Amino acid sequence: MSNRDKGHAKITPEEFRYMALLSELTNTSVRDCIIDEENNRIIFLVNPDEVGKAIGARGFYVQQLRKILNKNIEIVGYSDKLEEQVKLALAPARVTDMKLVTRSDGARILYVAVEPTDKALAIGKGGRNIQRLKLILKRHFGVDSVVIA
């Protein structure tokens, strides 16, 4: 695999501080943190089996972090496998198929098929979920664009 296949996330000091804060607060393994200024949110990637622990009972830790940081907080399971990462990021929408296409100009586009009844869920209000997926895939897999079908 080339470096283009596996994005290498460069973690800023600010992201590192947020990761340490979540890790300390929840005793979970925080794999990455993406600051999405456009949507005033911080997306944390944690081990899939620790998502519930990171969120906390009735969203306790998410609410605490929202108060401390004054940003929306989203917790997503992390995988180093593209297919698994897409499913984790779009859950609870059910992914049925996906195809990664590299255009002649080198742009990498991922086409993701979801259950027809889950399409709105996958895209999210104002496109928030699809935007979250794009940020994660760009950073970790070098995917330039995502199309939900």
pLDDT tens column, 86-128: 999 999 999 999 999 999 999 999 999 999 999 999 999 999 9
pLDDT digits (tens, 9 = 90+) for 36-58: 999 999 999 999 999 999 999 99
Q: Report residue 11's pLDDT band, with 50, 70 and 90 as the boundaries.
A: confident
Domain with CATH 3.30.300.20 in the chain: 13-77, 82-148
Cα 129 from Cα 123, distance rounded (Å): 5
Architecture of domain 82-148 in this structure: 2-Layer Sandwich (3.30)
| Angle between helix 60-69 and 13-26 (nearest 10) | 140
The pTM (predicted TM-score) of the whole model is 0.90
pLDDT digits (tens, 9 = 90+) for 71-91: 999 999 999 999 999 999 999
Is the CATH code 3.30.300.20 the one for domain 13-77? yes
Cα 8 from Cα 94, distance rounded (Å): 27
Cα 1 from Cα 117, distance rounded (Å): 35
